[in-house]
Amino acid sequence: MTLLVSTHVRDALRDGAPVVALESTIFTHGLPRPRNVEVALAAEDALRAAGVVPATIGVLAGVPTVGLTADQVRELGGDDDGVKVSLRDLPVVAAQGRSGGTTVAGTAFLAHRAGIAVFATGGLGGVHRGAAETFDESADLPVLARTPITMVSAGVKSILDVGASLERLETLSITIVGYRTTRFPGFYLADSGFALDYAVDSPEEAAALTRARDALGVPGAVLVANPVPAEHQLDPAEHDRVLREALASMDAAGIGGHDATPYLLDQVQRATGGRSLDVNVAVYENNVALAGAIATALAGGDG
Ligand code: PSU
Ligand code: MN
């Protein structure tokens, strides 16, 4: 078995019903327990309430699974040995029968293989600060560059070098539009301080962009950058202070590579007394809702 697509997801895809892919690293490595599983299941419930079929993706005992059951989400969300499965890790976990949460890179690959067109996360990976020396750039970017999926995220995580991430997105020819804004969102912040060239104003416009990409055969993702509503964002001054401290403590602890993102998210969550966690959840809910609306618009015909 190379890829298991659950029956309800397969039926929805066959019928042309709206489907949204959801990743699992966000709840295996990004959010603390027990909130992680609550958030993951609430995202699915929100999609179902909007008439959209959720397809949470992860790897269970070596089987990449598209459309995890609630029990499987609980199992992965409570697994201390779960692997953070980016695309390069997929062959290893499959061959060795291991379990883990798929990152944006791993999930985008599997979602596209299953025939799913729309995917929601919180904030994408990108170029880490200091990458000029470490070369630490998330595999999310190069994988999205060759995966024709429509990705909804609140920009890249603000723990990253946002400017460098935007430069790489441009080089990699990933189409980016702001959702009702030409400011690039900053994950915990509505505005990262960087501008975007284009915006779309409705799910239908995002769906039209997806269709144009497909008609042209442009190989990569369309990234719909969806800012967290301003009333839910983290206080910008607090954000900058806490992030400075988290980066310094990561340096001091000598942490890097695939541990960097989970470490920084955890440090920021601790230092803000959980406020950043609430923001991360608000960011995610907002993106899931928009992804559902785009999937619905795409399923609605040639618009
Ligand atoms: N969005 C969130 N929280 C997360 C992530 C995204 O709100 O934890 C995860 C995604 O799975 C993304 C990963 O692919 O963080 C990036 O990790 P890295 O920088 O090591 O590629
Ligand atoms: Mn990395």
**Domains contained in the chain, CATH given:** 1-116 (3.40.1790.10), 122-234+275-303 (3.40.1790.10)
Query: Three-class SS of residue 65?
Result: strand
User: CA 171 to CA 72: how far, in whole Å?
Assistant: 38
Which residues are within 8 A (CB) of 29 and not within 5 positions of it... i.e. 6 or more apart?
Answer: 82, 84, 101, 261, 262
Q: What would the pLDDT profile of 63-84 be if each residue is shown by its tens digit?
A: 999 999 999 999 999 999 999 9
User: CA 85 to CA 109: how far, in whole Å?
Assistant: 11
Averaged confidence pLDDT in the chain: 96
The predicted model scores a pTM of 0.97
Does the pLDDT at position 301 exceed 90? no
Q: What would the pLDDT profile of 195-220 be if each residue is shown by its tens digit?
A: 999 999 999 999 999 999 999 999 99
Task: Report ipTM (2 d.p.).
Answer: 0.95
Q: What residues act catalytically?
A: 23, 157
Which residues are within 8 A (CB) of 294 and not within 5 positions of it... i.e. 6 or more apart?
Answer: 118, 150, 152, 203, 206, 207, 210, 224
Name which residue sits closest to atom 21 of ligand 1, judged by CA.
138
Reading the block at residue 248, the tokens are 């310094």
φ/ψ (deg, to 5) at 143: -70, -40
Give 136 Cα–ligand 2 centroid separation in angstroms. 5
Reading the block at residue 172, the tokens are 């990699």
The ligand 1 site (C-beta within 6 Å) comprises 23, 25-26, 29-30, 103-105, 121-123, 125, 138-140, 258, 261, 265, 280, 284
| Residue pair 2/64 in contact by the 8 Å Cβ criterion | yes
Q: What would the pLDDT profile of 130-170 be if each residue is shown by its tens digit?
A: 999 999 999 999 999 999 999 999 999 999 999 999 999 99
Give the DSSP letter of residue 146: T
- The neighbour count for residue 181, using CB atoms within 10 Å, is 18
pLDDT score for 303: 45
User: CA 214 to CA 216: how far, in whole Å?
Assistant: 5
